[in-house]
Every structure is written in structure tokens, then in C-alpha cells.
């Protein structure tokens, strides 16, 4: 580990470039020029002379926008691998008693490990959906925000919540739920304390009641009202499994998508996690209202939850981003694997023309930026946008002979990162995190997981 370079003048040249702009501009041999935390120029050939600039030789590499992770549960990094063969509901009921033991220290350690893994997989901006708040556990939101600042990623934590415990017909144990009033108060305080609306913000808050089977209708309704009063976005799990659909039909007489629509949970300020089991009407509602979707193909496959109708969502005009989901249902949490897995699953449903490699890259970059309301700031390589990008080393034997660099990135094995830049700052260089001691972080994770499992008995 070494100190990450602070923003200054930075040039990368000699690399292939996928800008992912509206025109789909690509360069076989190009450059990018950064001043401070903004992109000043992107184009073909060598960069202009810029005295005092740090130069990176990009030959053999592909430069893309930084990947945007639209759904995660970072606290789960310290409970990976514990329930490898179960449905979502079985997985949740097994892990909730362990999660009930987390505190601020465990959350910080988990977030540090998870964020480092994201950085090494090309992620420059990530959300997190934290909804487990055991009593007397400390300030868990502050703990993960501190971890994100240390690792150096742009962060959109979602202040999650659950108020429907097992005694009231919900899935989670009563020990990890909160009251409606406490949730609304804590949500408003989180926005007041942390939410930064500036163009180059490193930190924005969303409100995120967990799911239809762990929160009340009152919490969903009141959270939507509060979020719109405060000008922040809304996020929740929707239509992840058939179990959830059966629960909603039995409890509310409607599908999960219909239930969320009734409670005001559609619109351009809303994005749904998973959105697998949707009918044509639900997809039409999402498209008409501007509601986005966070597609999590690896987690969905790990849990056997189903295959999302990704091509249909995109064809309807729904903004679709990608997410690794919780580390306990996607132990690798490698964001660069998600576009490939999204492509594979889409083609399982609709054949080889249903999703292209360039559409998969768009979902991983601009798709996520659209969902988070930051399409003018991140997601593509254009002058005036923030300097968030990944330089992928495609000079390895594993990628030799693949002529198209985007095909090599999406369909080939995950390439090493030559560099990851966030807000003009080099966070990863030659595959190594520059901001934290990853080996020490790994030891902390192992120690914390053992303590949590022992505590749960």
C-alpha cells in the first residue's frame, strides 16, 4: 500500500477507449486528459503537451468509464459463504440471527473489505443498502461512510429499514427491526448530516425500506413522502423471488410491483433491486414512470431466484444498471463480472441477439449513472464530466488474440486493472489498492466473521 495520488493533471495515452457516450464513440489509440477532478479532453492519438502532468502509458489497455454498482449490502462481507445452498427466504432466516450481532466496528470492517473488492473490479461509484440496525449497535451508517472515504470510492449509501418483524407476520426477527417513528427520524437525520448535492459530490443518501415482506405499508408510504420532501432517491427490493410474489398476493392481494405502485414507489427518483418476476404491465409501468432497475445477475443465479427480463426492460426504455448485491449471496462481489453474467442470462432467455457486449458495458456504466441521477456527472468519458475511469490491462495471455477490446473485457476473463481513478485520484495501480492495507483488512474480516458466528451460537 502507498498513498494514493491526489487530483492534479493526469494523462493516459496509447490505449483503446470506450467513451460510452450517446454516440458510442470509441478510439483504437487515444488519450484522456484530466485537470483536477474533471475530464478536460478525450480523443484519438497522443495527448497535447501538458507540463507537470502525471503520465500513464496505456498501451495494451482499454479505458472505460468507472463501473457503477447500483445494489449492495456491504455488511454481509463478514458473513460470506455461510449458507451456500438455499433459497432466498431460507438464506435470510438463517443469516438474520448472525446479522443481529453486527455493530459499528463490524460494519466498518465489512464495508472496508467489500469496497476494496469493488475497487479492484473497476467500480468507482457504489450504492449500499444497509437495513439491519440492531439495538445499541452504534452508528452503522457513519461506519460505512467512513470506510468509503478511506477506500476512496464515490458513495451512495441507502438508509435502509425494517419495521415488520416475525411477530407481525414479517420475515426478520423482531430484534433487528425499528419503529416507524425511529426510522423516519433517523432517515431525516442521515440526509441532513450527509447528503451532498454538489456536482462532484462523493456522498449522497437515499431512503430504502428493505422489502415488501419486511416493512409495513406505512413505512413504505411515509418514506416515499419524506424522500420527496428532502429531495433524495428511493430504493427497495422488488420481485426478486416467487416466494415474494406469493407473499404479496396472499397478504396484499396484488403482485409486488402492483403493491409498490399503490404506495407511491414509482417514478424517476425510484429504482428497484432485482425486478425479476415482472409481467408486461409492470414493465410498462416502470417505463412510463421512469422507475429504474438494479439487475444483479450473479446473486440471482447464486440464489436460484430467476432470470430477469433484461432485454424487455431495455426495449421498453427502462433504465437498467448492474449490482453485485450482498456479499453473502455473491461472495466475489466483482462488479466487472456482472455485465458478462447479465449478457449470459439475457441470452438464455432471448438468444444471442438479445444483449450485446456494448449494451452490457452501457448498463455497467451509464445505466447505473442514470439510475442514481448522475448521468450528467459520471458514466461516460466526456469533457466536463468527473474523472472516474478504469484502465484495464488487456495485454495478458488470457486476452491475446481478441481483436475487439470491449469483447475482450466483457466476454474474456476479468482483466487486471492497470489503474482506477476516482474524482481524479488514483485509487488502484497495477491491481493494488493504494489507499488501505488490504491484507490487514482481510485479517479483520476473518476475525469479525468468527466472532459473529460464535456470538449467534
pLDDT digits (tens, 9 = 90+) for 159-179: 999 999 989 988 888 888 999
Q: Dump pLDDT digits (tens) for 72-98.
A: 999 999 999 999 999 988 999 899 999
Tens of pLDDT along 49-66?
Answer: 888 899 999 999 999 999
pTM of this prediction? 0.97
The CA dihedral of 313, 317, 321, 326, to the nearest 10 degrees, is -40
pLDDT for 175 equals: 86
Structure confidence at residue 338 (pLDDT): 98
Instruction: Write down the mean pLDDT value for the chain.
Output: 96
Establish whether domains 8-64+380-433 and 67-371 are of one fold. Answer: no
The CATH architecture one would assign to domain 67-371 is: Alpha-Beta Barrel (3.20)
H/E stretch holding 259 = helix 256-262
Please, how many CA atoms are within 13 Å of residue 358, restricted to the half-sphere of its CB?
12
Q: Quote the pLDDT of residue 2.
A: 43
Are residues 276 and 244 in contact, defined by beta-carbon separation less than 8 angstroms? no
Report pLDDT digits (tens) over 245-284.
999 999 999 999 999 999 999 999 999 999 999 999 999 9
**In CATH terms, is domain 8-64+380-433 a member of 3.40.50.300?**
no
Does residue 187 register a pLDDT over 90? Answer: yes
User: Domain boundaries in the chain?
Assistant: 8-64+380-433, 67-371
Rounded average pLDDT over 127-133: 97
Is 276 within 8 Å of 310 (Cβ atoms)? no
Q: DSSP for 291-335?
A: -EEEE-HHHHHHHT-----HHHHHHHT--EEE----TTS-TT--T
What number is the average pLDDT over the span 361-372?
98
Q: Which residue(s) pair with 67 in the sheet?
A: 123
Question: Residue 354 pLDDT > 70, yes or no?
Answer: yes
How many Cα atoms sit within 13 Å of 165 on the Cβ side? Answer: 15
Q: Using one digit for the tens of pLDDT, what is the confidence trace for 191-210?
A: 999 999 999 999 999 999 99
Q: Is the pLDDT of residue 102 over 70?
A: yes
Residues 329 and 333: their CA atoms lie apart, in Å, by 9
pLDDT of residue 209: 98
pLDDT band (50, 70, 90) for residue 336: very high
Average pLDDT over residues 219-231: 98
Q: pLDDT digit string (tens) for 8-46?
A: 799 999 999 999 999 999 999 999 999 999 999 999 999
Is 80 exceeded by the pLDDT of residue 6?
no
Amino acid at each position: 500500500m502507498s498513498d494514493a495520488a491526489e487530483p492534479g493533471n493526469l494523462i493516459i495515452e496509447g490505449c483503446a477507449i470506450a467513451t460510452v457516450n450517446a454516440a458510442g464513440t470509441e478510439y483504437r489509440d487515444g488519450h484522456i486528459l484530466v485537470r483536477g477532478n474533471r475530464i478536460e479532453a478525450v480523443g484519438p492519438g497522443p495527448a497535447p503537451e501538458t507540463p507537470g502532468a502525471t503520465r500513464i502509458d496505456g498501451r495494451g489497455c482499454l479505458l472505460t468509464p468507472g463501473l457503477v454498482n447500483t445494489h449492495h449490502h456491504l455488511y454481509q462481507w463478514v458473513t460470506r459463504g455461510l449458507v451456500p445452498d438455499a433459497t432466498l427466504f431460507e438464506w435470510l432466516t438463517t443469516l438474520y440471527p448472525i446479522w443481529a450481532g453486527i455493530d459499528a466496528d463490524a460494519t466498518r470492517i465489512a464495508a472496508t473489505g467489500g469496497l476494496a473488492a469493488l475497487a479492484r473490479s473497476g467500480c468507482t461509484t457504489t450504492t449500499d443498502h444497509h437495513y439491519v440496525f440492531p439495538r445499541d449497535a452504534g452508528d452503522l451508517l457513519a461506519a460505512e461512510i467512513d470506510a468509503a472515504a478511506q477506500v476512496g470510492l464515490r458513495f451512495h449509501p441507502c438508509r435502509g429499514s425494517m419495521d415488520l418483524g416475525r411477530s407481525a407476520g414479517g420475515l426478520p426477527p423482531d430484534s433487528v427491526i425499528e419503529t416507524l417513528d425511529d426510522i423516519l427520524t433517523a432517515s431525516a437525520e442521515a440526509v441532513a448530516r450527509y447528503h451532498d448535492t454538489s456536482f462532484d459530490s462523493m456522498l449522497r443518501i437515499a431512503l430504502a425500506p428493505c422489502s415488501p415482506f419486511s416493512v409495513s405499508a406505512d413505512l413504505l408510504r411515509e418514506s416515499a413522502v419524506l424522500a420527496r420532501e428532502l429531495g433524495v432517491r428511493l430504493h427497495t427490493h422488488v420481485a426478486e423471488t416467487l416466494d415474494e410474489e406469493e407473499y404479496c398476493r396472499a397478504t396484499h392481494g396484488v403482485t409486488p410491483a402492483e403493491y409498490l405502485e399503490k404506495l407511491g414507489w414509482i417514478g424517476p427518483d425510484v429504482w428497484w433491486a432485482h425486478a425479476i418476476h415482472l409481467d408486461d404491465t409492470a414493465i410498462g409501468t416502470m417505463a412510463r414512470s421512469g422507475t429504474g432497475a438494479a439487475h444483479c445477475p450473479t446473486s440471482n443465479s447464486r440464489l436460484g431466484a430467476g432470470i430477469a427480463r433484461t432485454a424487455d426492460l431495455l426495449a421498453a426504455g427502462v433504465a437498467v444498471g448492474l449490482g453485485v448485491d450482498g456479499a453473502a449471496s455473491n461472495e466475489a462481489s466483482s462488479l466487472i463480472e456482472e455485465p458478462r453474467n447479465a449478457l449470459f442470462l439475457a441470452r438464455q432467455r432471448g438468444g444471442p441477439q438479445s444483449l450485446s457486449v456494448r449494451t452490457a458495458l452501457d448498463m455497467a456504466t451509464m445505466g447505473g449513472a442514470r439510475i442514481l441521477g448522475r448521468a450528467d456527472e459520471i458514466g461516460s468519458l466526456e469533457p466536463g464530466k468527473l474523472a472516474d475511469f478504469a484502465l484495464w490491462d488487456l495485454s495478458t495471455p488470457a486476452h491475446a488474440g481478441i481483436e475487439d477490446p470491449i469483447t475482450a473485457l466483457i466476454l474474456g476473463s476479468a482483466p487486471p486493472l492497470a489503474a482506477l481513478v476516482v474524482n481524479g485520484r488514483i485509487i488502484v495501480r497495477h491491481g493494488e489498492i493504494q489507499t488501505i492495507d488490504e491484507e490487514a483488512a482481510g485479517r479483520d474480516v476473518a476475525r469479525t466473521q468468527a466472532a459473529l458466528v460464535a456470538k449467534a451460537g
